[in-house]
Amino acid sequence: MCGIVGYIGDRDLTSILLVGLERLSYRGYDSAGIAVISDGELSCWKKPGKIHALNEALKNMIIQGQVGIGHTRWATHGEPNEVNAHPQLSQSRRVAVVHNGIIENYLELKSKLKKEGHIFLSQTDTEIIVHLIERYLQDDLESAVELAAKDLVGSLAIAVVAEADPDKIVVYKKGSPLVIGVGKGENYIASDVNAIISHTKNIIYLDDGELAIIEKNNYTIKRNGKIINKEIQTVKWDAVISDKNGYEHYMLKEIYEQAIVVRKLISKYLQNNKVHFKSLKLDKEELAKIKRFIIQACGTSWHSGLLGKYLIEKYTRIPTEVDISSEFRYRDIITEGNKIVVAISQSGETADTLACIREAKSKFFKVLSFVNVKGSSIDRESDGVIYTHSGPEIGVASTKNYVAQLVSLYLFMVHLGILKWTLDEEKVDVMLNNLRRLPEQIDKILQQTDHIKKIAKKYAKSKEFIFVGRGVNYPTALEGALKLKELSYIHAAGYPAGELKHGPIALIDENLPVVCIAPQSETYDKMISNIQEIRARKGKTIVIATEGDENIKEYADDILYIPLCPEDLTPILAVIPLQLLAYYIALELNCDVDQPRNLAKSVTVE
């Protein structure tokens, strides 16, 4: 994973690098560091922990210099300490590199270099890159980087500075994203546009195999040693400065923004009761002919995909498969027929999801993506895109974008149903009216926060949790369990409620809280039977039920009510108390809810 940034120019180098790193911290926050060349001399500062540790370390220092690179790390090789933090330096400490990606043949290269007398200080794969570059460094830095890149197997976006060639940053991209920001008398590089967008909107997206030499007044891009011309694209969006707006955490703010997000999606995509997706780019005829969807995504986005399958199959009768991206890539997918691969991703940068898009396109699938971040790799590489428009999601655990994905998938399903004639106008009217009621219903759920806090306090000391649901709420059970795990580090598992008796029921005793998602639905009675089975084994039941369900009181230790809505929409409402439950349990346990340990907002390694 990791984020890299670089600057060459006359402005305040340190602050440009540190602000850039802050904006890239969604890519990892295990450590941060910068390397600067000043008067031909390389200096490096790095600190384990979040960017603010580095900020603190540098706050009273005056760092001069016109060339610098920075890095925020998500540890892959070696624990997140200072030695393993980037920039990694060469043996002479005169070359520095920052790296995003994984070098797969690093052990082999390391042992070769060791035999030549190289001494390694870190456990990182990155350190071998900088040793290799120094080994090849004779005339100019770019030739050395080019030669080193040839030896490296894996994914890499690197930025390199060297005392021997002090007026440039050399970057190389293969697999991991990298952009150049073009300025006047200054230039930038970064893992993504948002790190530098407040300085320049003129962006060059590098492609795999490209090397660039970035100088103050110039930049040169090469492929296989030959200079190439690349188009400068002007990004159309502005820097989004996101603050907590008075909330204690970004996550809480984002949970509270969910009604607004749903309203925004409805107003963007519904006009005169018709669904319009401007950026879809796949024409109606093409869509109407689709015989099969294969959805692929990771984590929370995969949970959205699971609901997508229910909706698409139920209302459009198009067979739909759902894969976890890292599995899709390695299975021998059947490519016959008229099919579309659907990618779902908040960040638009998830390496596995992106790799599947490339794999799918190489097999002549069209790719449609549901993406939140505009300009991201998945956005740019898909044939058609539906934006989930949830705005910047800063909390590492996805909340508002999950709801946005569910609403977008619902609208997409309605759109398809109309195209395929599986939904008539009357039915569509009812469906859309129910959708329009959601924001108000979400706000109503958010009024129960005090009650949820009490439940969180009661169960915060539990060692593990189980979440169960059926049908459309099986994904909700998975999502509730994921939120709790990532925020509170309590082990939690989600199951289809009917599966309990096939094994997981063995876990149930008086210490195990079981969150049961049981709104009014076709499977309500079956859920009640499952809840009884849990109670018979003394499990504690926290039940998500529909307002007015008095019957449930008999079976629940604690109840969280959601307003009445059609079954297909219940996942959108039911997930909200689960997000709050995870949030408040994590607070009880003093966990860092916005940046939980070991995680990153965007998973850019496979």
Shortest Å distance, C-beta 397 to ligand F6R: 4
Cβ contact 296:325 at 8 Å:
yes
Shortest Å distance, C-beta 465 to ligand F6R: 16
Shortest Å distance, C-beta 602 to ligand F6R: 6
* Residues written for the chain: 606
Q: Using DSSP, state whether 60 is helix, strand or coil.
A: coil
Q: Which of 2, 356, 516, 565 is catalytic?
A: 2
From candidates 155, 176, 300, 579, binder to ligand F6R by CB under 6 A? 300
Residue 299 binds ligand F6R (CB under 6 A):
yes
- The token pair that represents 495 in the structure block: 């199951």
Cβ contact 470:522 at 8 Å:
no
Handedness of CA 178, 183, 185, 186 (dihedral sign): negative
Cβ contact 47:54 at 8 Å:
yes
Containing H/E element for 221?
strand 219-223
Site for ligand F6R in 327-366 (CB under 6 A): 345-347, 350, 353
> Looking at beta carbons only, is 88 or 602 nearer to ligand F6R?
602
> Looking at beta carbons only, is 175 or 299 nearer to ligand F6R?
299
Residue 88 binds ligand F6R (CB under 6 A):
no
Cβ contact 346:301 at 8 Å:
yes
Shortest Å distance, C-beta 502 to ligand F6R: 26
Shortest Å distance, C-beta 486 to ligand F6R: 6
Residue 486 binds ligand F6R (CB under 6 A):
yes
d(CA 54, CA 583): 28
Query: In which residue are the tokens 């109606």 written?
Result: 284
Residue nearest to ligand F6R (CB): 299
DSSP state of 560: E
468 - beta bridge partners?
495, 516
210-246 in b/e form (b: 16+ CB < 10 A) is bbbbbebeebebbeeeeeeeeeeeebeeeeeeeeeee
> Looking at beta carbons only, is 1 or 221 nearer to ligand F6R?
1
552 - beta bridge partners?
none
> Looking at beta carbons only, is 176 or 350 nearer to ligand F6R?
350
> Looking at beta carbons only, is 483 or 540 nearer to ligand F6R?
483
Shortest Å distance, C-beta 348 to ligand F6R: 7
> Looking at beta carbons only, is 148 or 378 nearer to ligand F6R?
378
**Cα distance between the two ends of the chain:** 9
> Looking at beta carbons only, is 299 or 471 nearer to ligand F6R?
299
Assess whether 2 carries a catalytic annotation: yes
Catalogue the E-assigned strands of 31-121. 31-38, 41-48, 67-73, 88-89, 95-103
Cβ contact 604:156 at 8 Å:
no
Shortest Å distance, C-beta 298 to ligand F6R: 4
> Looking at beta carbons only, is 398 or 541 nearer to ligand F6R?
398
From candidates 127, 603, 604, 605, binder to ligand F6R by CB under 6 A? 603
Binding track, positions 254-293, relative to ligand F6R; x by CB under 6 A? ----------------------------------------
Residue 301 binds ligand F6R (CB under 6 A):
yes
d(CA 390, CA 371): 10
Shortest Å distance, C-beta 169 to ligand F6R: 28
d(CA 241, CA 243): 6
Number of residues that bind ligand F6R (CB under 6 A): 15
How many Cβ atoms from other residues are within 10 Å of residue 510's Cβ? 8
Site for ligand F6R in 393-422 (CB under 6 A): 397-398
> Looking at beta carbons only, is 299 or 308 nearer to ligand F6R?
299
Shortest Å distance, C-beta 382 to ligand F6R: 13
Runs of H (alpha helix) within 489-597: 524-536, 570-588
Assess whether 284 carries a catalytic annotation: no
DSSP string, 155-200: EEEEEEEETTSTT-EEEEEESS--EEEE-SS-EEEESSGGGTTTT-
Q: Which of 400, 485, 540, 601 is catalytic?
A: 601
Choose among 431, 418, 433: nearest CA to 316.
418
Shortest Å distance, C-beta 230 to ligand F6R: 26
- The token pair that represents 202 in the structure block: 């003129």
Q: Report phi then psi at 77, rounded to 5.
A: -115, 110
Cβ contact 371:336 at 8 Å:
no
Q: Which stretch binds ligand F6R (CB under 6 A): 186-194, 298-306, 499-507, 581-589?
A: 298-306
> Looking at beta carbons only, is 34 or 403 nearer to ligand F6R?
403
Q: Which stretch binds ligand F6R (CB under 6 A): 8-16, 164-172, 296-304, 462-470?
A: 296-304
Residue 476 binds ligand F6R (CB under 6 A):
no
Q: Report phi then psi at 248, rounded to 5.
A: -70, -35
Instruction: Tell me the angle at which helices 438-446 and 570-588 cross, rounded to the nearest 10 degrees.
Output: 20
Under the rule (CB under 6 A), what is the footprint of ligand F6R?
298-301, 345-347, 350, 353, 397-398, 482, 486, 602-603
Residues with a catalytic annotation lie at 2, 601
